[in-house]
């Protein structure tokens, strides 16, 4: 079974009266924009785990679950 190298943080963010589920990896750094990953149709934010694990540990990554997918 796959063991993630970088654990994610899960949170819900209100956007225009809706609750969006968002995963994030790493810590925000001043002066450095986060990398935002968006999934395709019939997918979820957690599917980026394999990709995020290949990035540098100091990279802040954000991935939302689109409306109607995952926990959004």
- At 8-60, the pLDDT tens digits run 999 999 999 999 999 999 999 999 999 999 999 999 999 999 999 999 999 99
Which domain range does residue 29 map to? 9-64
Report pLDDT for 38: 98
Residue 59 lies in a domain: yes
Q: Is the pTM of this model over 0.85?
A: yes
Q: Which two tokens stand for residue 14?
A: 């209100």
Residue 19 lies in a domain: yes
Residue 57 lies in a domain: yes
Q: Return d(Cα 56, Cα 29) in angstroms, integer.
A: 14
Number of domains in the chain: 1
Residue of 27, 54, 49 lying closest to 39 (CA atoms): 49
Residue 69 lies in a domain: no
How far is CA 58 from each of CA 32, 61, 69, rounded to the nearest angstrom?
Answer: 11, 9, 28
CB atoms within 10 A of CB 51: 12
């Amino acid at each position: 079974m796959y063991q993630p190298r970088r654990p994610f943080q899960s949170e819900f963010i209100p956007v225009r009266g809706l609750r969006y589920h968002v995963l994030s990896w790493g810590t925000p750094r001043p002066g450095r924009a986060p990398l935002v990953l968006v999934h395709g149709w019939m997918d979820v934010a957690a599917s980026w785990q394999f990709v995020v694990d290949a990035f540098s540990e100091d990279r802040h990554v954000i991935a939302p679950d689109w409306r109607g997918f995952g926990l959004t």
